[in-house]
Amino acid sequence: MTKRKSTGLSKSLVLKGLQCRKALWLKKNPPDFDLPPRPELEARFAAGNEVGELAQQLFPAGIEVPYAGLPFAAQLARTKQLIENGTKVIYEASFSRGGVFVKVDILVRDEFTNSWQIYEVKMGTSVKEINLDDVASQYHVLTQCGLTISAAYLTHINNRYKRHGELDVQQLFRSEDVTAEVVERQEQLAEQLEQLRNTLRLDDEPTIDIGPWCTAPFECDYIPYCWQHIPNNSIFDLRGRGINKFAYYHQGVVKLEELPIAALNPAQRFQVEATLNKQDTTDLPAIREFVDSLWYPLCHLDFETFDTPIPPFDGVRPYQKVPFQYSLHIQQQAGAEPSHYEYLAAASANFDPRRELAEQLIAEIPAEACVLTYNQAFEKSVLRELAELFPDLADALLLRVDNVRDLMVPFKKRHLYRWQMAGSYSIKAVLPALVPELSYKMVRVLGVLREVAV
């Protein structure tokens, strides 16, 4: 007897299926293929949970229907009981209808109209199309279950909030009324859900080719599996805009050499010709000019920062980059062995490392030194934010900003280009092409420029 296929859908499966029906099918019928782990998703998931729990404070004294350790049926029964008991606010209320199971982040009873308000919490900073599909699927299931929904809101992070003292959740979050958009989606959503159920009934993998949907709105888990047939040096390795790569792909153009060269802009033409001919470029006068613009002592500076949706300290906005580490290599003269200095914040919760870091940095980087970074915009913005935060250190920090020079420039302008860089000038592309050994990476890259310039 043929086993009947499960067509059950959760909210996340619905969203996966709306992005690509093949991804939904593969989720339920995993391919015999080793997919690489994606640890960043776990970190995002944990951050999302933290944001969701904090947002519950917008409607305090609610009762939660836990997910962990409770079977779906028990979650549904618990929700039903809370509704019947007159509970005003329910966190993670659970509903199922038509084979779709959803949990609502915050469900608020509107006592005057005997209806309910849906609040979906997101850690983003604006309302996105995919969020509207998310809320629409909750609205669909809840109304099918017989609830009247008076309003639906998308609650997201307000990135203009700056923390002062205790977290102010009313300021940290912004709720936008998305009722009209969600209601408008209902008719189409019913059809889409039917398509998704039909997809899950299929015995064989749906024949859906790769497309822009592989990376938007999310990067799909199955890219390594579905993109196996794309060779190295394909049209998808082409940098820059102005080329509809999927339009070419659907015409059978896959390899770089198959692209009509006349359709490319000068930078793309440069990339394609360099790759196909394995051709390097060295603009000696320009490299010499760059090397001569630097002076000693020369400090190679590299910050590490973290950013979180919930500002951890005073004076920090959501997603503001907070420096917690720097690496500094100081050369007293050209070709000299660098001395290494480093700041690493103590790993303790609620410790704001910025003052300590700024003071140590000023003590270690001589006022007159050349400060060499890779992609100066980032290091400059960190230094400027520190200067804004600590007015008494501002002059010293801004002096270091004035002395910043950018090691990325010769590569961005292609004064030195190796065909292995594949049109990129990021440190990740430049390093392996120039100096595969990773120690003193920026010192070594400058060393290569110096050797070329001699």
Q: Does 26 bind ligand SF4 (CB under 6 A)?
A: yes
The CA distance from 372 to 295, in Å, is 10
Q: Does 223 bind ligand SF4 (CB under 6 A)?
A: yes
Question: What is the total count of residues that contact ligand SF4 (CB under 6 A)?
Answer: 12
Q: Does 23 bind ligand SF4 (CB under 6 A)?
A: yes
The structure tokens listed for 152 are: 């639906």
The CA distance from 103 to 105, in Å, is 6
- Biggest CA–CA distance in the chain, Å, is 82
For every residue of 423-450, DSSP letters joined together read T--SHHHHHHHH--S-TTHHHHHHHHHH
- Residue among 208 and 448 whose Cβ is closer to ligand SF4: 208
- Name the pairing type of β-strands 173-177 and 149-157: antiparallel
Q: Which stretch binds ligand SF4 (CB under 6 A): 221-229, 302-310, 314-322, 399-407?
A: 221-229
* Minimum separation from the CB atom of position 223 to ligand SF4 (A): 5
Pick out residues in 270-299 that bind ligand SF4 (CB under 6 A): none
- Name the pairing type of β-strands 404-406 and 370-373: parallel
- Candidates 51, 220, 383, 434: give the one binding ligand SF4 (CB under 6 A): 220
- Residue among 208 and 429 whose Cβ is closer to ligand SF4: 208
The CA distance from 7 to 128, in Å, is 27
**Sequence-ordered alpha helix ranges (H) in 85-230:** 129-144, 169-172, 179-184, 186-201, 223-226
Residue 421 burial (10 A CB sphere; 0-12, 13-18, 19+): buried
Q: Does 208 bind ligand SF4 (CB under 6 A)?
A: yes
Q: Does 230 bind ligand SF4 (CB under 6 A)?
A: no
Element (H, E) at 39: helix 39-55
Q: Does 226 bind ligand SF4 (CB under 6 A)?
A: yes
Q: Does 196 bind ligand SF4 (CB under 6 A)?
A: no
- Candidates 222, 324, 343, 411: give the one binding ligand SF4 (CB under 6 A): 222
* Minimum separation from the CB atom of position 211 to ligand SF4 (A): 7
The structure tokens listed for 366 are: 């001589």
* Minimum separation from the CB atom of position 197 to ligand SF4 (A): 18
* Minimum separation from the CB atom of position 15 to ligand SF4 (A): 12
- Residue among 17 and 410 whose Cβ is closer to ligand SF4: 17
CB 417 within 8 A of CB 433: no
The CA distance from 99 to 78, in Å, is 19
Q: Does 210 bind ligand SF4 (CB under 6 A)?
A: yes
Q: Does 427 bind ligand SF4 (CB under 6 A)?
A: no
Q: Does 435 bind ligand SF4 (CB under 6 A)?
A: no
3-state SS track over 82-99: HHHCCCCEEEEEEEEECC
- Residue among 130 and 169 whose Cβ is closer to ligand SF4: 130
**All residues at 6 or more sequence positions from 229 whose CB lies less than 8 Å from its CB, including other chains:** none
3-state secondary structure of 266: helix
- Residue among 27 and 450 whose Cβ is closer to ligand SF4: 27
Q: Does 214 bind ligand SF4 (CB under 6 A)?
A: yes
Q: Which stretch binds ligand SF4 (CB under 6 A): 97-105, 113-121, 222-230, 270-278?
A: 222-230
- Candidates 59, 72, 213, 390: give the one binding ligand SF4 (CB under 6 A): 213
The CA distance from 28 to 31, in Å, is 9
List interacting residues with ligand SF4 (CB under 6 A): 20, 22-23, 26, 208, 210, 213-214, 220, 222-223, 226
